Amino acid sequence: MTAKIAHARLLCQSLTIGALILGALPAHAQQATGKSFVDDFDKIDRSVWYVSDGWNNGAHQNCTWSKNQVKAEGGMLQLTFAEGKSKDRNYLCGEIQTKKRFSYGTYEARIKSATGKGLNSAFFTYIGPADKQQHDEIDFEVLGKDTSTVQVNQYIKAKGGNEKLVPVGQGADQGFNDYAFVWEAGRLRYYLNGKLVQDVTDPSKIPQNPQKIFFSLWGTDKLSDWMGKFAYTQPTTMEIDRVAYTAPGDKCQFQGSIACTLN
């Protein structure tokens, strides 16, 4: 079992715990999908976003999700990793996820990653056992061991192995970059700063189930081969300037959107 697969399986288990905390949604809500939107994070809209709080994603994760590590300030969503005791963890970290699911369309986020080996600054979509679905996932992950690259990947029915490292240029923690993917039934395209960096056309490697949108910053003591040997020095923050989802056929949600050139 690779470290990434182990991470994914533990994530499924932990989100099941999270679902118990949230409570089961009615059947009709489980099938709903979100509509086109853009969020500049002048505030955290709690009707759109759920803030993870009070648990972790398993033994591989060395921090506890805390609502205190999530805030909107200066027109940015800020997710912070810092020292702080919670249950059996010595660190606190931040995550938000949409309450609704989203299907095919264009997903975009403008992000500055956190700094630090053993950390993961992630923008991804996910659905799994917590929502009584098989595990599907589409990822952008900046790993703290090398912030000059971003890893793209996808899972289909809990099967991954589609990783690709894409050069960012300057460190992803040194400035903001635009991450986007265009998800269609028979094609999945990843973009970095407007440039196509990965084009998946094999239907067996493309998720089909509607998913929630996530932003998360977390650390590990165990997955050092994948994320780097953890070495905490000071609090660090992942910043998200904007996120947008554009459904197929809808007008683009902001000037400069990838969707403006596709529709």
> Active site residue: 83, 95, 108, 137, which one?
137
Q: Is 83 tagged catalytic? A: no
Out of 73, 83, 95, 141, pick the active-site residue. Answer: 141
Instruction: Give the DSSP per-residue string, 49-97.
Output: EEE--S--S-TTB-EEE-GGGEEEETTEEEEEEEEEEETTEEEEEEEEE
Query: How big is the CA angle at 43 (ends 40 and 45), to the nearest 5 degrees?
Result: 95
* Chain centroid, CA 234 distance in Å: 23
Instruction: Encode burial over 66-77: b for 16+ CB neighbours within 10 A, e otherwise.
Output: beebbbbeeebb
Residue with tokens 């809990």: 158
Tokens 């955290």 sit on residue: 44
Whether the Cβ atoms of residue 186 and residue 89 lie closer than 8 Å to each other:
no
In sequence order, what are the residues at sequence separation of 6 or more whose Cβ sits closer than 8 angstroms to the Cβ of residue 24?
Answer: none
Is 137 tagged catalytic?
A: yes
Q: Using an 8 Å Cβ cutoff, are 4 and 160 in contact?
A: yes
Is residue 7 within 8 Å of 223, Cβ to Cβ? yes
Q: What is the DSSP letter of 40?
A: -
For residue 136, which of 188, 79, 210, 41 has the smallest C-alpha distance?
210
In whole angstroms, what is the distance from residue 228 CA to residue 65 CA?
A: 21
> Where in the sequence numbering do the catalytic residues fall?
137, 141
